[in-house]
Amino acid sequence: MAYRMAFQKTGGPEVIERQDFTPVPPGPGELAIRHTAIGVNFIDTYHRSGLYPVSLPAAPGIEAAGVVEAIGEGVSGFAPGDRIGYFTGRPGAYATHRNIPATQALKLPDTLPDEDAAGVMLKAATTEYLVERCARVKAADAALVHAAAGGVGLLLVQWLKAIGVRVVATAGSADKQALARSAGADVVCDYADAATTAREMTGGTGVDAVFDGVGKATWDVSLSALRTRGLLVSFGNASGPVTGVDLGILAAKGSLFVTRPTVAHYYATPEDFRAGSARFLEMLATGKLKADIHQRHALIDAAQVHRDLEARKTTGATIMLPEA
Ligand code: NDP
């Protein structure tokens, strides 16, 4: 029986319910996928809560791996039986089966198991564009990474260290800080100490870039950690969105730059998609980036998975598995 974990109205995790459905054949340009593993991302909670609007009813989920069961008209380069992974801007991955545009699918190399692909593709794509195409930090630069034991956070630390950046990392508990250190962070600290620690690590100058997926709660400390003309990459809202910004603060803190990027705009063209995907797949294949799948759950438990994520009980990546 095919089913998805969907919501009819936005709200707390309790709005997510099982909904049975009959899969339809793939449309032109589409692949019909039987999911083997589904990735969980904090953005799924924004879709469910209504912070990021979606048309209802909807199922959360923007990345997964699986097997191609059928191909639509005009599709080339894929065949039934292929192992694929995908990430997309369109929610709906919390399902046993799904049709997706073939242009969003990647054939998975033998070296990348389904569970790893489902757990890290979106996070690795995010890390790739944030580090190399958005902040463009380079060897010997210094960076601050918030929520460094999280899904994106652990990958950011690994990627930055792989290219020679000095990293100060924050996380919400001693265990999480130890995890960030084991991923390569040079210095770890509490959120409240981030600016002081960043300045200590840089001889008083401040870091070149801050990677901030926490949002509202870390806005001030992030600005205070930067060097003159440094860059704040504010890429998420785990604590709530940043609103009501007074631009004068950027002048007062040192002619700072701020950007609020999204993966959709950095993976917008087929060329971006091909080049970006090739780059993060290479980082995974060479072991510079590890898929840290720390939580595995049954798909049916999606509501509890959201509770755990929002209660900061997770580290690394979380995946869900459809029952056999
Ligand atoms: P994480 O695994 O990082 O989970 C979020 C973490 O944020 C928590 O574990 C917690 O870590 C920290 N946090 C701090 N304050 C809060 C709070 N008030 N409530 C909940 N969590 C809090 O999630 P992801 O890796 O999936 O995503 C990380 C961020 O990246 C999210 O903001 C997400 O929206 C963003 N993102 C942005 C993209 C883009 O292109 N702009 C693409 C993909 C993700 P701790 O306990 O250590 O504080």
Are 150 and 80 found together in one domain? no
Please state, in angstroms and rounded to a whole number, the distance separating the CA atoms of residues 27 and 8. 25
Is 132 within a domain?
Answer: no
Q: Rounded distance, CA 24 to CA 177, Å?
A: 46
Same domain, 204 and 112: no
Question: What distance lies between CA 253 and its chain's CA centroid?
Answer: 29
Residue 174 lies in a domain: yes
Q: Which of 260, 290, 312 is the last residue of a domain?
A: 260
Evaluate whether residue 78 is within a structural domain.
Answer: yes
- For residues 244 and 147, state if they share a domain: yes
- As for how many domains the chain has, the answer is 2
Residue 187: CATH number of its domain: 3.40.50.720
224, 201 in Cβ contact below 8 A?
no
Please check whether residue 190 lies inside any domain of the structure: yes
Spatial CB neighbours of 149, under 8 Å, sequence gap ≥ 6: 171, 172, 175, 176, 177, 179, 180, 315, 316
Got the DSSP string for 128-169? HIIIIIII---TT-EEEESSTTSHHHHHHHHHHHHTT-EEEE
Q: Is residue 131 part of a domain?
A: no
Domain with 29, as residue range(s), is 2-120+265-321
Nearest CA to ligand 1 atom 27: 42
Q: Is the CB of 61 under 6 A from ligand 1?
A: no
252 and 146, same domain (yes or no): yes
The answer to whether residues 55 and 8 belong to one domain is yes
Q: Are residues 146 and 74 in the same domain?
A: no
Place of tokens 């998609």: 273
Pick the closest to residue 65 from 111, 18, 105 (CA basis): 105
Q: What is the Cα–Cα distance from 281 to 65, expressed in whole angstroms?
A: 14
Residues 33 and 55 in one domain: yes
Q: Which 8-state DSSP code applies to residue 113? A: -
Q: How far is the CA of 151 from the centre of ligand 1 (A)?
A: 8
CB 323 within 8 A of CB 35: no
Question: What DSSP line would sit under 5-40, residue for residue?
Answer: EEBSS--SGGG-EEEEE------TTEEEEEEEEEEE
Nearest protein CA to atom 19 of ligand 1, as residue: 239
Q: Other CB atoms closer than 10 Å to residue 184's CB: what's the count?
A: 17
CA of 188 to the centre of ligand 1 (A): 17
**Pocket of ligand 1 contains residue 123 by CB under 6 Å:** yes
Considering the domain boundaries, does residue 127 fall inside one?
no
As a whole number of angstroms, the distance between CA 66 and CA 78 comes to 13
pTM, rounded to two decimals:
0.97
- Verify that 215 and 189 share a domain, yes or no: yes
- Tell me whether strands 207-212 and 142-145 are parallel, antiparallel or unpaired: parallel
- The verdict on 62 and 98 lying in the same domain is yes
pLDDT of residue 1: 85
Tell me, in angstroms, the distance from the centre of ligand 1 to residue 213's CA.
Answer: 5
The answer, yes or no, to whether ipTM is higher than 0.90 is: yes
- CATH number of the domain residue 57 falls in: 3.90.180.10
Pocket mutation for ligand 1, best pick of 154, 155, 214, 272 (most atoms within 8 Å of C-beta): 214
DSSP-derived secondary structure letter, 95 = B
Whether residue 7 is found in the same domain as residue 51: yes
310 C-beta closer than 6 A to ligand 1:
yes
Protein residue closest via CA to atom 3 of ligand 1: 150
**Looking at the structure, do residues 173 and 203 belong to the same domain, yes or no?**
yes
Q: Which of 237, 260, 283 is the last residue of a domain?
A: 260
d(CA 26, CA 74): 11
158, part of any domain: yes
Domain co-membership, 10 together with 93:
yes
Residue with CA nearest ligand 1 atom 9: 312
Q: Would you say residue 125 lies in a domain?
A: no
Question: Which atom of ligand 1 lies at the shortest distance from residue 130's CA?
Answer: 40
Burial class of residue 172, CB neighbours in 10 A (0-12, 13-18, 19+):
middle
Q: Domain ends where: 244, 260, 276? A: 260
Decide if 304 contacts 295 (C-beta within 8 A): no
Nearest to 102, CA basis, from 29, 34, 174: 29
Q: What pLDDT does residue 85 have?
A: 97
Low-confidence spans in the chain with pLDDT less than 70: 324
Pocket of ligand 1 contains residue 176 by CB under 6 Å = yes
Q: Is 276 touching ligand 1 by the criterion CB < 6 Å?
A: no
